[in-house]
Amino acid sequence: MESTVPDAFERMWADLAPVGRSAVSGGYFRQPFDAAERELAVWFEEQCGARGLRVERDDFGNVVGWWDVGSGPAVLTGSHLDSVLDGGAYDGPLGVVSALAAIDLLRSRGVVPSRPVGVSVFVEEEGSRFGLACLGSRLAAGAVSWESARSLRDRDGVALGDVVAGGSSALLSSVGTFVELHVEQGRDLVDRGAAIGVASEIWPHGRYRFDFGGAANHAGTTRMEDRRDPMLTYAMTALAANKQARLAGQRATFGRVAVEPNGTNAVPSRVTAWLDARCSTDEALTSLVEAVTTQAADRAGRDGTSLDVVAESVSGAVTFSPDLAAAVAADHEGGDWPIIPTAAGHDAGILSSAGIPTAMLFVRNPTGVSHSPEEHASTPDCLVGVSALADTLERLTR
């Protein structure tokens, strides 16, 4: 790889490193449409301008930088720039930086694609602010309507329609193929001793809000047998989710909880908790959530509390085109890249479900840790990822 491309990659990475980073934890707070994420959006458009890429925006905040060469259906790459709360540096931004660096590499090789190439940034991929994962790509693909999305609210009660105009999107109208590069969120590539992998599928997954209602009371004067404590119902439900997921070989996590009135010396009146469930099949996901809900309802009956469960978002299984995955993975120096599944959701899954042929490249994560300040990928592996993405774009645009 020409020396200027690694230098450009590292300069871009250094530009991003301080933006939205906590001085306490070292993690990132880049929530959609907040200051840090908007700073990154401006940075991206500046990088597009420096490369002569035509910037196209839609009404939802999604952006594509187009390399207007060739003709016919475009090949789109890119990822997202938002983060989970206290997240890692690589989830999303690695795909954006690598896409820009891959264009640099193709140009340094003298490659002129026969089809247009775009670099995308989709907003609110994590769902960390408005609760619906891959919101930007869902809106761009028409998988969710603006009428239903505009009323989504963040933790402070601010509606999505209050921070973005909304309307329509034509960003995907000319796209024939999408390729997303992403840091691996697991240890599959580490165990295989491979720097690069190709996605075969995305597990089905969903977010479910459990509302437990009870009766507020004094923590000192209320006898234990007189309480209607929703915290007890929630606690049993969290344990039940852990047990059911372990028995089935699936994934279940209660990672967010809100308590009212949230006082140290008061029995709570309400506990709201969000279940993240991920399974190998759609049927397994349904079965797991039903099992957890049944146990929660049984416990609520014994505790004298109430239970209401709302599915806030559910994404079915995504199987990427086996032929496209095989074509991307085959015949590289050192052999074929491994083709592996992932239990993490991605914009690639939304575009694939919308009928756009889609592939994903993963870059090895040495610890397997993600959605955490400990998330990491080595610079040599990242540069291998840039080369892998450039090779893939060159293949797909011949």
**pLDDT (tens digit, 9 = 90+) per residue, 332-385?**
888 899 999 999 999 999 999 999 999 999 999 999 999 999 999 999 999 999
Residue 2 has pLDDT above 70, yes or no: no
Per-residue model confidence (pLDDT) at position 136: 98
CB within 8 Å of 300: residues ≥ 6 apart: 212, 233, 306, 307
**CA 370/CA 24 separation, integer angstroms:** 18
**CA 92/CA 75 separation, integer angstroms:** 19
CB within 8 Å of 305: residues ≥ 6 apart: 212, 213, 214, 228, 229, 230, 232, 233
What pTM value is reported for the model? Answer: 0.92
Per-residue model confidence (pLDDT) at position 398: 85
Instruction: Give the pLDDT mean for 281-289.
Output: 98
Q: Which CATH number fits domain 4-203+317-396: 3.10.450.50, 3.40.190.10, 3.40.50.720, 3.40.630.10?
A: 3.40.630.10
Instruction: Give the pLDDT mean for 7-36.
Output: 97
Query: Quick check: 75 and 392 in contact, CB under 8 A?
Result: no
CATH of span 205-315: 3.30.70.360
Per-residue model confidence (pLDDT) at position 335: 87
Instruction: Give the pLDDT mean for 279-303.
Output: 98
Q: What percent of the chain has pLDDT over 70?
A: 99
Per-residue model confidence (pLDDT) at position 1: 45
Instruction: Give the pLDDT mean for 273-302.
Output: 98
Instruction: Give the pLDDT mean for 138-155.
Output: 96
Count the residues in the chain: 398
- Please state the domain extents for the chain: 4-203+317-396, 205-315
Residue 169 has pLDDT above 70, yes or no: yes
DSSP assignment letter at 222: S
**CA 163/CA 90 separation, integer angstroms:** 26
Residue 338 preceded by cis peptide, ω within 30: no
The number of beta carbons lying within 10 Å of the beta carbon of residue 284 is 18
Give pLDDT tens digits for 298-327.
Answer: 999 999 999 999 999 999 999 999 999 999
Q: How far apart are the first and last CA of the chain?
A: 20
Q: What percent of the chain has pLDDT over 90?
A: 97
Per-residue model confidence (pLDDT) at position 3: 55
CB within 8 Å of 325: residues ≥ 6 apart: 198, 199, 200, 339, 359
Give pLDDT tens digits for 76-115.
Answer: 999 999 999 999 999 999 999 999 999 999 999 999 999 9
